[in-house]
């Protein structure tokens, strides 16, 4: 079996619309086959993005030019190593495609495995065969919105008010809050206006699900926020909500706002009639894991990131 050709797509040579369609179709095939999506939201959005957003793409093609594997990487937030995702077409596995993509990534790239069960086991075997070690663990936690331990009523400290996001009013303030709250987070902290606009253009975006805790005497100043996400939306049969992004301004932390704003979001998701709620949290984020555990969340699965030692 000949090694595949690996082509680079970047700012000078962006992915064409047809290539982006093939990549997303390949990822959808892999998701059906593996039972888990190989590319996370940001990577899927970047594949489709018509403006260069810092992502680099690697396309593995066969002799006929068909795309049989794909990798994407981006430089991390300040000082962080590049973050990558890679996927091989289910019918083209164990033929060296994954290996060819991996060696074309920067040496210090960290590669995500979002699978569970057999898919996670094969990603771990692949990583081990290529000399990678697990370096980061992301927990997917969940709970029922209809049963299980009740969560407490929201307690808003004095001086704050609650409202929801308004387009055209809150974008810049929300981005500033997000950047401050996630200054040390490898991915979330680097979200820019174009990334926010992309998400607001998605069919699932609902400003009523982006809850803001603001200063009571200055409602344009954001102290905390909880962006909830329902994808697919309820009207399309969605039953699972997500605690998408919880952010508390660093100068407002330690007052219980994280817990309050999380609870406000859970109340909102329950009011939509959803069954379950999930969230993603870094294992190292001990404060967040503790907050969610206290609110009745338990581990559903664990995603891992691998890197060369
Ligand atoms: C993991 C994945 C990228 C591997 O791609 P691939 O093209 O099949 O991998 P390669 O053929 O280049 O395999 C290289 C080596 O990895 C190991 N390997 C790969 N898949 C394996 C599996 N399912 N079980 C055991 N070892 C495996 C083998 O040692 C293999 O060499 P071999 O085929 O000579 O035994 C592919 O299964 C995939 O797309 N999975 C879903 C997405 C994913 O999990 N991505 C995260 C990767 S960290």
Q: Which of 122, 124, 304 to mutate to test the pocket of ligand 1 (most atoms within 8 A of CB)?
A: 122
Please give the distance of CA 66 from its chain centroid, rounded to a whole number. 28
Nearest-CA residue for ligand 1 atom 17 is: 126
Residues pairing with 58 in the sheet: 8, 71
Q: Which of 94, 95, 127, 128 to mutate to test the pocket of ligand 1 (most atoms within 8 A of CB)?
A: 94
CA of 93 to the centre of ligand 1 (A): 7
Could you report the average pLDDT of every consecutive run of 10 residues in the chain (309 residues)? 87 92 98 94 90 90 96 84 96 97 96 91 96 95 97 96 98 97 82 93 96 98 98 92 97 94 98 97 92 95 94
- What's the confidence (pLDDT) of residue 1? 64
- Distance, in Å, from the CA atom of 57 to the CA atom of 187, rounded to the nearest integer, reads 17
Nearest-CA residue for ligand 1 atom 19 is: 126
User: Token pair for residue 98?
Assistant: 């994954």
Phi-psi region of 60 (alpha: psi -120 to 50; beta: other; left: phi over 0): beta
CA of 24 to the centre of ligand 1 (A): 19
CA of 38 to the centre of ligand 1 (A): 13
Extents of the domains making up the chain: 5-131, 143-301
Nearest-CA residue for ligand 1 atom 18 is: 126
Q: Which atom of ligand 1 is found nearest the CA of 94?
A: 11
Nearest-CA residue for ligand 1 atom 5 is: 98
Query: In this structure, how many other beta carbons lie within 10 angstroms of the beta carbon of residue 38?
Result: 25
Lateral strand order in the sheet of 83-88? 5-9, 56-61, 67-74, 83-88, 110-113, 298-307, 133-144, 276-282, 240-248, 218-230, 210-215, 160-164
Q: What are the CA-CA distances from residue 114 to residues 38, 73, 299 (Å)?
A: 6, 15, 14
Task: Tell me which residue has tokens 């399309």.
Answer: 236
Q: Which fold, 5-131?
A: Aminopeptidase (3.40.630)
CA of 135 to the centre of ligand 1 (A): 18
Q: Which atom of ligand 1 is found nearest the CA of 102?
A: 12
CA of 242 to the centre of ligand 1 (A): 30
Instruction: List, chain by chain if needed, residues with CB within 6 Å of any ligand 1 atom.
Output: 30, 34, 38, 86-88, 93-99, 111, 113, 115, 119, 122-123, 125-127, 129, 306
Please give the distance of CA 274 from its chain centroid, rounded to a whole number. 21
Closest CA to 6 of 103, 101, 87, 98: 101
User: Token pair for residue 223?
Assistant: 């102290």
Is the distance from CB of 31 to CB of 125 less than 8 angstroms?
no
Q: Which atom of ligand 1 is found nearest the CA of 88?
A: 39
- What's the confidence (pLDDT) of residue 133? 97
Class of 143-301 per CATH? alpha beta
Is the distance from CB of 73 to CB of 82 less than 8 angstroms?
yes
Nearest-CA residue for ligand 1 atom 4 is: 98
Is the distance from CB of 223 to CB of 213 less than 8 angstroms?
yes
DSSP letters of the chain?
-PPPEEEEE-SSSPPPHHHHHHHHHHHHHHHHHHSS-SS-HHHHHHHH-SS--S-EEEEEE-TT--EEEEEEEE--STTPPPEEEEEE-GGGTTSSHHHHHHHHS-TT-EEEE---HHHHHHHHHHHHHTT-EEEEEEEEEEEESSSSSPPPPP-PPTTEEEEE--TTTSHHHHHHHHHHHTTT-TTGGG--HHHHHHHHTSTT--GGGEEEEEETTEEEEEEEEEEEEESS-GGGT--EEEEEEEEE-GGGTTSSHHHHHHHHHHHHHHHTT-SEEEEEEETT-HHHHHHHHHTT-EEEEEEEEEE--
Is the distance from CB of 84 to CB of 73 less than 8 angstroms?
yes
Nearest-CA residue for ligand 1 atom 22 is: 122
Q: Which of 98, 102, 104 to mutate to test the pocket of ligand 1 (most atoms within 8 A of CB)?
A: 98
Cis peptide before 232 (omega within 30 of 0): yes
- What's the confidence (pLDDT) of residue 107? 95
Is the distance from CB of 4 to CB of 68 less than 8 angstroms?
yes
């Amino acid at each position: 079996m000949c090694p595949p050709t690996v082509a680079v797509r970047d700012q000078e040579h962006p992915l064409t619309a047809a290539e982006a369609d093939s990549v997303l179709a390949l990822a959808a095939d892999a998701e059906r086959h593996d039972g888990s999506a190989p590319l996370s939201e940001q990577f899927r959005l970047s594949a489709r993005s018509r403006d260069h957003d810092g992502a680099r793409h690697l396309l593995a093609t066969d002799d006929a030019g068909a795309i049989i594997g794909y990798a994407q990487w981006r430089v991390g937030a300040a000082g962080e190593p590049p973050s990558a995702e890679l996927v091989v077409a289910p019918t083209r596995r164990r033929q060296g495609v994954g290996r060819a993509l991996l060696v074309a990534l920067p040496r210090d790239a960290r590669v995500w495995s979002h699978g569970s069960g057999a898919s996670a086991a094969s990603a771990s075997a692949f990583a081990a065969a290529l000399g990678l070690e697990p370096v980061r663990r992301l927990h997917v936690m969940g709970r029922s919105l209809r049963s299980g331990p009740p969560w407490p009523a929201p307690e808003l400290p004095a001086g704050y008010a609650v409202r929801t996001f308004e387009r055209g009013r809150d974008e810049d303030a929300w981005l500033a809050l997000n950047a401050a709250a996630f200054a040390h987070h490898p991915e979330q902290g680097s979200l820019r206006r174009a990334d926010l606009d992309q998400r607001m253009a998605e069919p699932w975006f609902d400003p009523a699900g982006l809850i803001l805790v603001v200063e009571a005497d200055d409602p344009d100043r954001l102290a905390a926020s909880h962006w909830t996400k329902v994808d697919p939306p309820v009207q399309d049969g969605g039953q699972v909500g997500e605690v998408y992004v919880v952010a508390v301004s660093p100068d407002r932390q330690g007052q219980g706002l994280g817990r309050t704003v999380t609870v406000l979001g859970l109340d909102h998701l329950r009011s939509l009639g959803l069954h379950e709620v999930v969230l993603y949290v870094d294992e190292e984020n001990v404060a967040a894991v503790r907050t969610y555990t206290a609110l009745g969340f338990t581990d559903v699965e664990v995603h891992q990131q691998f890197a060369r030692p």
